Amino acid sequence: MPSNTTRIAKNTLMLYFRQIVIMLVSLYTVRVVLEILGVEDFGIYNVVGGVVILFTFLNTALTHATQRFLNFALGRSDTEQVRNIYSVSLVIHTLVAVLFVVLAQTIGLWIFHTWLNIPYERQTAAFVVYQISVVTAVIGVLQIPYRATIIAYEKMSFFAIIGVIDAVLRLSVVFLLQVIQFDQLLVYVFFVCITGIIILLIHKMYCNITFETARFRYCNDKRLFKHLLGFSGWSIFGGMANIGRDYGANILMNIFHGVKVNAAMGIAMQVNFAVYYFVSNFQTAFNPQIVKSYSVNDYAYFMQLIFRTAKVSFCLLFFFVLPLYINANFVLQIWLDNVPEYSVRFTQLILLFSLIETILSPLRMSIQATGDIKRYQLIVSCFIFANLPLSLFFLWLGFSPVTVLFIRVVLNGITLVWHMFFLRGRIKFPVFDFFREVIVPMFMIVGISGFVTVYTRNLFVTDWNRLISSCVISSISIGFLMYRIGLNKQERFLLRNWLKVKTIKRNEYL
């Protein structure tokens, strides 16, 4: 266990650094892209080409599905099974990519031509954006087996490096956008697609060179194929539910309020993209150990990881969320020259949604570790799909588009509670202990640090002083409260020992 804890700590630091770089680059690129494209073209990209961003939910679901089987086999040191799983996953994801293209060129085009509210003079450009975005999404699907293999082997140093490379390439796209004199919306989506191809090739070369098990071979294990296909199929079902919720909401807002609201939603989704991946990449360090501990029946460590992942990831995200939430209006004004209407409220609600996701994600991963997800996906997808009829109802009544994201936050909170009780029936999950050790302390940290930060912020007059004071006070208060309230006695002991060892090594080096 000590070696596992050390590995998780190192992987977490690498992924933490990775996400900070990605977040900073994303914030800068969105600002420049919005400035160059304008509100209308930016809105078109997010309602048409935004399928690429939304498809990350499906990519994440499929990555977890493949990773679950790889981690299970690695936990039992079954190298032959790892090799078979890798080969079968390549075939399955190729089939998924083909299926996606078929759906995109049939149902997708029907939605594009029938429902979307796009200005007449930009319809041709929007069609080209759609087709290039489909290619980009397919590239993302084909990348999944390689990404899952890297995570399963816990090669987080490379995972962090490839994330930084991706961020640098996307930054280069922004610079090219300012140089090339052509339809800039088309230039942007084309080079985003090229970036995806480069990242796919890097993943493939690294896996083929580094892992002996990551080389395709014909596998005639029909039972494994059926099992992996069934698990992936239900994961696709859950991922499609997420896509339906988000892309469907985007279409509904487009129908009722036009592309300018889609631009505001695009801003919020970009923030969510950075925040969600901050959470996802941080928890990536824990996920392999969650599955591996379950595969060897180490239930004590399995539960410990679930509790610890939920607490630590929530607080790490809250470091960013609290000052950003209470200063959202000023931050968006600094970030963007032209802030679309509704952007502030959309961003604040997306941040609340992502905070709930930090606690929900390890519970979701623990369910996937069991391998039996059919009933789970059927029920949880109903919660997700419920967003659409509720959003349609309130928009039809004339409510603000902000209501759409408010509904999403509320339903995600309900889904969190349901996950806990579902797990109690599946793996005897200690619901009361989870409330006592995770939910209640996190609420206390949010309430106390939020009150202290807002009170201190209001003592200052200028917006810059308020922002700086919010960042400083929130960091200090969250860190102190996490140590005193969030961590239990054993976790505080492990943290002190880890810091002591790091200090000794640093002094020896100096």
Q: Among residues 481, 71, 77, which one has the least CA distance to residue 290?
A: 71
Cα 374 to the chain's mean position, in Å? 22
* Same domain as 362, residue 323: yes
* Same domain as 231, residue 207: yes
Q: For the segment 259-282, what is each residue's pLDDT rounded down to a tens digit?
A: 778 778 878 777 776 666 666 666
* Same domain as 340, residue 223: yes
Helix, strand or coil, per DSSP, at residue 468: helix
More confident: 5 or 318: 318
Q: How many domains does the chain have?
A: 2
Burial class (CB in 10 A: 0-12, 13-18, 19+), 488: middle
pLDDT above 90 for 448: yes
**In this structure, are residues 244 and 385 in contact, taking their beta carbons and an 8 Å threshold?**
yes
* Same domain as 315, residue 463: no
* Same domain as 420, residue 315: yes
If one counts every other C-beta atom within 10 angstroms of the C-beta of residue 258, the result is: 16
* Same domain as 236, residue 99: yes
Tokens of 12: 């977490």
Domain final residue pick, 384, 399, 429: 429
Domain final residue pick, 397, 429, 461: 429
Q: For the segment 19-40, what is each residue's pLDDT rounded down to a tens digit?
A: 677 777 776 777 777 777 777 7
DSSP assignment of 166-207: HHHHHHHHHHHHTT--S-HHHHHHHHHHHHHHHHHHHHHHHH
pLDDT at 231: 73
* Same domain as 423, residue 308: yes
pLDDT at 338: 75
194-208, 210-224, 343-357: segment of lowest average pLDDT = 210-224
Q: For the segment 115-131, what is each residue's pLDDT rounded down to a tens digit?
A: 777 777 777 888 888 88
* Same domain as 423, residue 435: no
* Same domain as 479, residue 388: no
Q: Compute the C-alpha angle 45/50/54, nearest 5°.
A: 170
Q: For the segment 89-112, what is each residue's pLDDT rounded down to a tens digit?
A: 888 888 888 887 888 888 778 877
* Same domain as 247, residue 348: yes
Domain final residue pick, 388, 403, 429: 429
The identity of residue 96, as a single letter, is V
Sign (positive or negative) of CA dihedral 318, 324, 327, 328: negative
**451 confidence band (pLDDT: 50, 70, 90):** very high
CA distance 167 to 161: 10
pLDDT at 439: 92
pTM > 0.85: yes or no: no
CA distance 214 to 139: 18
Range of the domain at 158: 2-429
* Same domain as 330, residue 451: no
pLDDT above 70 for 505: no
* Same domain as 441, residue 402: no
CA dihedral 210, 216, 222, 223 (to 10 degrees): 10
